[in-house]
A and B are shown apart, each in its own frame.
Chain A
Amino acid sequence: MRKSKLTRKQKEHIAAYLFILPSFLGIAVFYIVPYIICFTKSLYVGDTFVGIENYIQLFQNNTFLLALKNTGIFTVTAIPLLMVISFLIALFLNSFNKISSFFRSALLIPVVVPIASLICVWQLVFDDYGAINGLLNSLGFNTVEFFNSEWSMVMIVFIYVWKYCGFCVILFTAGIANVSQSLYESARLDGAKAHQLVTKITIPMIAPTTFFVFLMELIYSFKIFREVFALFGDYPNTNVYFLQNFINNNYYNLNYPRLSAASIVLSLFIIIVLFIFFCFERKHSYS
């Protein structure tokens, strides 16, 4: 019998590569290759190579800058707000010995509620003739156009925080529960106060959880487009016109050079944010 010349380790490597080949092909065909095609398209107008002209035009385009600004404002406002609120709620819940399963389920309900029904409820509450405005009018105040003024951004941030808060609370609760009680006991013996326990022990110790929550929320923040679309359609007011609107509309307008350039910029935006947070996490994580 002929003996194979490959060592056991080499065989294992080959088997491993073969196993990841289907996944790699999928990623290559559905992500890497389209990304390269997208980048290539962003350098062309029709059949003409224009270099970075599309990018220059993109950054001279007021609508794109508006979308970029709104996306930036939303990301910078909504994610920290959500993380702080859910962390505080998690801390509060952690003070109880046991959280009932009903309470855990209730926290997750907003995540699983279909967007259409969610939007119907928000419209009933915040529409010009909705419950809040009815209350304001009865108190003698003017109607506030929640969905068609500067309030629109506040509404979207509010909806985002409300929808994903429960999910983050559960993640934070799990993270906090894993922090060793002996650390708290030692700190208390050393005379640490409550806020010092949180800032010096809890927050550093749950850094990996915080990082994971941030990642998830960043992903969800880009999914907020569904709510914006359901509430305002393809062309929302200028306060809630996001990069996703810009990309989506340019798809329907068949402006692929601009669509490709905007997509590359959006992906770079996400990569930069993630890179910064990765660096931050590496520097500050106790784990």
Chain B
Amino acid sequence: MFTRFLFKPHESIKVILAILLSVIIITSFSSCAIKNNSEQNHLVYYTLNDEDALSWITEKYNKYCINSNNPSFQVEIVKFDSEQEMSTQISTEIMAGSGPDIISLSQKLPFEKLIESRSLMNIYDLLKDDNSSNAINLDDYNVNILNAGVYDNGLYIVPLFYGVDVLVSTEERLKNFNIKENNGFSLTYSNFSDVFENYFLNDEGYSFVSNELSDFLWFDYPMQLFCRFLNSYVDFENKAVYFDTDEFKDNLDVMMQMLTISQKNNTNELFDGLYINRSFPLMAGSYSYYQSINETPVVFRGLTKNKDVNSAHIQVGYAINNNTQLKEQALAFIKYTLSDEIQEIGATASGSLSFPVNMSVYDNAKLVAGSRTDDNNKIIGIDNDFMKAYIDIADNVNACTLYRDVSHSYYNDNVIGDIVDDYINKGIAKDKFIRQLSAATKIYLTE
């Protein structure tokens, strides 16, 4: 055949071409396989331009690994420019049986679904085999916050810091609308319209809550409240929807009114922006600030469905990918992030983190707040109605949700985002809105 090819190449050219094509295809596929099988020897974490709080914890952890002569335990931080690109890559990689080992709660993924499909690792399984001297005892951590990541007797989310849902205003602002409720008042969707009746009758240029979108805090606060309201009528764990109840229908009108007023170009706000300055020391600072401008701050329990609910939300948390092969490294990372050192740094930081999930560090934060001084080096103290009420609310948190930025969560954005937008902006009928909302949510919960 070879000699025939030498002397009569045109006769064998088809066969040669076919062989060449086959070789190229086999080589390209095998090279893909080789690339996929390459051993990954350290944890990987994906982040959007290094923006989330877990990034600085991870960077700190990497330095700790180097200092403790354990560089192989470092976490590789992969930065993305686009959220869409990051989410798509995570989804595709998890599907292919790999993906980042650490998945932050700030990433727009359907965590409820990931937990249900066992795509995330059960942290209990990881912790139970740890017999080392620094093994984590979960009794040292706030069980109400941990419960947010518990599903079917497994722990799938590691919460690090959380915020309490409260609304802060001043007596002077509230007086404009003849609102006389005191510190610690429980504001529910049902008593909302009664308490703020005068406000709804005449808003006088006041948003209910700040609607300014700053460069740093890009939350649409009224929308966050509205989304929390919608989510409170969904039981994600038991897959039940309560949008067709009379209670929801009545409260929807009030919340819609709140949203409409707040989205006007008002220059004032009845309540401060959500999630800002919520740690004990920083709240003591807020108290001092209001005192300095001769105003008396008031703190309400955040809008909830029931009076007995003291709700919180996870500010920083993460999950471990069930595909990870690096269980030892993952355990080391969990231990570090839940360590007193990191919990203390977060709890006393001047940033926007609120409360550590570690109970002793949480208690210590009260002591730090108690010794907080004002600009004249005078101790502000926590022995006042405002701080007492705030500490009481924080001490009695009994419910916690997974997402801080609710309006950008997978359910609120991808599943019901368009329906809510149509209702708010295009004014579709209430019945139609509820019908669409129920249908989409039921499908999402059960599919």
The CA-CA distance from A19 to B15 in the complex, in Å, is: 8
Which residues of A sit under 8 angstroms from B215, Cβ to Cβ? none
| Contact between A255 and B116, CB atoms less than 8 A apart | yes
- A-B contact list, 6 entries, CB within 8 Å: A18-B18, A128-B428, A237-B436, A253-B113, A253-B114, A256-B117
The CA-CA distance from A234 to B113 in the complex, in Å, is: 16
Given contacts A234-B415, A241-B443, A249-B447, could you give 14 more A-B pairs where the C-beta distance is less than 8 Å? A4-B1, A15-B14, A46-B119, A61-B446, A128-B428, A235-B440, A238-B443, A250-B447, A254-B94, A254-B109, A254-B110, A255-B117, A255-B119, A258-B117
Known: A63-B447, A233-B418, A250-B447. A15 touches B1 (CB 8 A): no
Partner of B91, one of A45, A46, A241, A254: A254
Q: State which size class the interface on A falls in.
A: 35 or more
Asked if A101 is an interface residue, CB under 8 A from chain B, the answer is: no
Q: Which residue of A lies closest to B94 (CB)?
A: A254
| Contact between A235 and B439, CB atoms less than 8 A apart | yes
Interface class of chain A by DSSP: helix
CB distance from A213 to the nearest CB of B (A): 33
The CA-CA distance from A258 to B119 in the complex, in Å, is: 12
| Contact between A238 and B439, CB atoms less than 8 A apart | yes
Which B1-59 residues have a C-beta within 8 angstroms of A? Answer: 1, 3, 14-15, 18-19, 21-22, 25-26, 29
Partner of B444, one of A45, A235, A254: A235
Known: A61-B447, A63-B446, A233-B418. A251 touches B435 (CB 8 A): no
Which stretch (A20-28, A87-95, A169-177, A199-207) binds chain B? Answer: A20-28
Asked if A148 is an interface residue, CB under 8 A from chain B, the answer is: yes
The CA-CA distance from A148 to B437 in the complex, in Å, is: 12
Which A235-264 residues have a C-beta within 8 angstroms of B? Answer: 235, 237-238, 241, 246, 249-258
Which residues of A sit under 8 angstroms from B117, Cβ to Cβ? 45, 253-258
The CA-CA distance from A250 to B91 in the complex, in Å, is: 11
| Contact between A237 and B18, CB atoms less than 8 A apart | no
Asked if B307 is an interface residue, CB under 8 A from chain A, the answer is: no
The CA-CA distance from A110 to B14 in the complex, in Å, is: 42
Asked if A64 is an interface residue, CB under 8 A from chain B, the answer is: yes
The CA-CA distance from A1 to B8 in the complex, in Å, is: 15
- A22, A63, A246 pick with most chain B CB within 10 angstroms: A22
Asked if B213 is an interface residue, CB under 8 A from chain A, the answer is: no
Q: Which residue of A lies closest to B419 (CB)?
A: A235
Asked if A131 is an interface residue, CB under 8 A from chain B, the answer is: no
Which residues of B sit under 8 angstroms from A246, Cβ to Cβ? 447
Asked if A287 is an interface residue, CB under 8 A from chain B, the answer is: no
| Contact between A46 and B322, CB atoms less than 8 A apart | yes
Partner of A25, one of B19, B26, B446: B26
Asked if B118 is an interface residue, CB under 8 A from chain A, the answer is: yes
Known: A4-B1, A254-B109, A254-B119. A235 touches B22 (CB 8 A): no
Which residues of A sit under 8 angstroms from B176, Cβ to Cβ? none
The CA-CA distance from A51 to B440 in the complex, in Å, is: 31
The CA-CA distance from A46 to B121 in the complex, in Å, is: 10
The CA-CA distance from A64 to B443 in the complex, in Å, is: 9
Which residues of B sit under 8 angstroms from A250, Cβ to Cβ? 447
Which residues of A sit under 8 angstroms from B14, Cβ to Cβ? 15, 19
The CA-CA distance from A64 to B447 in the complex, in Å, is: 7
Interface class of chain B by DSSP: helix
Partner of B414, one of A19, A252, A257: A252
Asked if A145 is an interface residue, CB under 8 A from chain B, the answer is: yes
Write out, one digit per residue, whether chain A residues 1-19 have a CB within 8 A of any chain B CB (1) or not (0): 1001000000000010011
The CA-CA distance from A46 to B116 in the complex, in Å, is: 11
CB distance from B340 to the nearest CB of A (A): 33
List 5 A-B pairs, minimum CB-CB distance, nearest first. A235-B440, A253-B113, A18-B18, A255-B117, A63-B447
Asked if B95 is an interface residue, CB under 8 A from chain A, the answer is: yes
Asked if A100 is an interface residue, CB under 8 A from chain B, the answer is: no
CB distance from A53 to the nearest CB of B (A): 13
CB distance from A234 to the nearest CB of B (A): 6
Which residues of A sit under 8 angstroms from B116, Cβ to Cβ? 255
Q: Which residue of B lies closest to A6 (CB)?
A: B1
CB distance from A46 to the nearest CB of B (A): 4
Asked if A135 is an interface residue, CB under 8 A from chain B, the answer is: no
Q: Which residue of A lies closest to B117 (CB)?
A: A255
Which residues of A sit under 8 angstroms from B94, Cβ to Cβ? 254
Asked if B432 is an interface residue, CB under 8 A from chain A, the answer is: yes
Which residues of B sit under 8 angstroms from A4, Cβ to Cβ? 1
The CA-CA distance from A114 to B440 in the complex, in Å, is: 27
| Contact between B447 and A29, CB atoms less than 8 A apart | no
| Contact between A235 and B415, CB atoms less than 8 A apart | yes
Q: Which residue of A lies closest to B113 (CB)?
A: A253
CB distance from A59 to the nearest CB of B (A): 13
Which residues of A sit under 8 angstroms from B29, Cβ to Cβ? 25, 29
The CA-CA distance from A26 to B446 in the complex, in Å, is: 36
Which residues of A sit under 8 angstroms from B444, Cβ to Cβ? 235, 249
The CA-CA distance from A235 to B26 in the complex, in Å, is: 41
| Contact between B436 and A251, CB atoms less than 8 A apart | no
Asked if A62 is an interface residue, CB under 8 A from chain B, the answer is: yes
The CA-CA distance from A75 to B175 in the complex, in Å, is: 64
CB distance from A233 to the nearest CB of B (A): 6
- A148, A254, A255 pick with most chain B CB within 10 angstroms: A254
Which B71-95 residues have a C-beta within 8 angstroms of A? Answer: 91, 94-95
Which B398-436 residues have a C-beta within 8 angstroms of A? Answer: 414-416, 418, 428, 432, 435-436
CB distance from A170 to the nearest CB of B (A): 36
| Contact between A148 and B91, CB atoms less than 8 A apart | no
CB distance from B426 to the nearest CB of A (A): 10
Which residues of A sit under 8 angstroms from B428, Cβ to Cβ? 128
Write out, one digit per residue, whether chain A residues 26-70 have a CB within 8 A of any chain B CB (1) or not (0): 100100000000000000011000000000000001111001000
Q: Which residue of B lies closest to A239 (CB)?
A: B439
CB distance from A175 to the nearest CB of B (A): 36
Which residues of A sit under 8 angstroms from B447, Cβ to Cβ? 61, 63-64, 67, 246, 249-250, 253
The CA-CA distance from A153 to B116 in the complex, in Å, is: 31
| Contact between B91 and A25, CB atoms less than 8 A apart | no
The CA-CA distance from A45 to B26 in the complex, in Å, is: 31
The CA-CA distance from A19 to B435 in the complex, in Å, is: 57
The CA-CA distance from A29 to B32 in the complex, in Å, is: 12
Which residues of B sit under 8 angstroms from A254, Cβ to Cβ? 91, 94-95, 109-110, 113-114, 117, 119
Partner of A22, one of B3, B15, B18: B18
The CA-CA distance from A241 to B440 in the complex, in Å, is: 10
Which residues of A sit under 8 angstroms from B418, Cβ to Cβ? 233
Partner of A255, one of B113, B322, B415: B113
